[in-house]
């Protein structure tokens, strides 16, 4: 029997049902490899400039903004950062993030790879997997991140 993975996550937050992502691929052909879980408490001088060639990171990063304010440029898109912003960032594109030193960011994040059955990297396209969502009540996601970060250590 062939299983298909159609919905990565359906999250109900503040009475809003949102289909977060849609992918049509066989489960047996897709593997998720977690590289790192962290919760970043950004220092006042913090900024992030992901140079695809120089850093050599591959895969994807999932961010949840728990506190603070700032700005993110992901490829051709720009976002103002604030509490409740969630991002699925592709490490195959340039990323630039800054924040307000007076209102520093707190960002739990996961760096992961999506691999096919042969171990090759898969990168879901933007048409089928959104980059950004705003979540009004982050309690569940923040707690889940905390548990994952603790288990990772």
Contacts for 49 with CB less than 8 Å, ≥ 6 apart: 94, 95, 96
pLDDT tens, position by position, 13-59: 433 333 333 334 444 567 788 888 889 999 999 998 877 665 666 78
87 in a structural domain: yes
19 in a structural domain: no
- Retrieve residue 129's tokens: 């997997």
What's the pLDDT at 14? 35
- Res. 11: pLDDT tops 60: no
Could you give the CA distance from residue 134 to residue 114 in angstroms, rounded to a whole number?
23
142 in a structural domain: yes
21 in a structural domain: no
What's the pLDDT at 6? 36
For residue 100, the 8-state DSSP code is B
Q: Which residues of 13-34 are buried (b: 16+ CB within 10 A; e: fewer)?
A: beeeeeeebebeeeeeeeeeee
What's the pLDDT at 49? 85
Question: Residue for token digits 């049902």?
Answer: 17
Distances from the Cα of 53 to the Cα of 38, 67, 75, 78, angstroms: 23, 30, 14, 21
7 in a structural domain: no
Q: What is the CATH number of the domain that holds 108?
A: 2.60.120.280
pLDDT band of 12, cuts 50, 70, 90: very low
Q: Quote the number of domains for the chain.
A: 1
* 53 neighbors 116 (Cβ within 8 angstroms): no
pLDDT tens, position by position, 56-88: 667 888 999 999 999 999 888 899 999 999 998
116 in a structural domain: yes
35 in a structural domain: yes
Provide the 10 A C-beta neighbour count for residue 56. 8
pLDDT tens, position by position, 96-144: 999 999 999 999 999 888 887 777 777 666 555 678 899 989 999 899 8
What's the pLDDT at 60? 86
The domain in which residue 45 lies consists of 31-152
6 in a structural domain: no
């Amino acid at each position: 029997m062939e299983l298909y993975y159609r919905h990565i996550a359906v999250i109900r937050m503040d009475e809003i049902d949102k289909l977060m992502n849609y992918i049509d691929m066989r489960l047996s052909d897709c593997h998720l490899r977690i590289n790192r879980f962290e919760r970043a408490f950004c220092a006042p001088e913090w900024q992030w400039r992901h140079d695809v060639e120089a850093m050599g990171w591959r895969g994807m990063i999932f961010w949840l903004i728990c506190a603070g304010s700032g700005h993110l440029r992901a490829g051709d898109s720009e976002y103002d950062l604030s509490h409740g912003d969630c991002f699925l960032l592709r490490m195959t594109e340039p990323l630039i993030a800054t924040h307000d030193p007076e209102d520093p960011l707190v960002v739990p994040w996961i760096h992961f790879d999506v691999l096919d059955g042969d171990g090759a990297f898969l990168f879901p396209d933007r048409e089928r997997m959104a980059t950004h969502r705003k979540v009004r009540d982050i309690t569940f996601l923040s707690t889940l991140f905390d548990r994952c970060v603790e288990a990772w250590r």
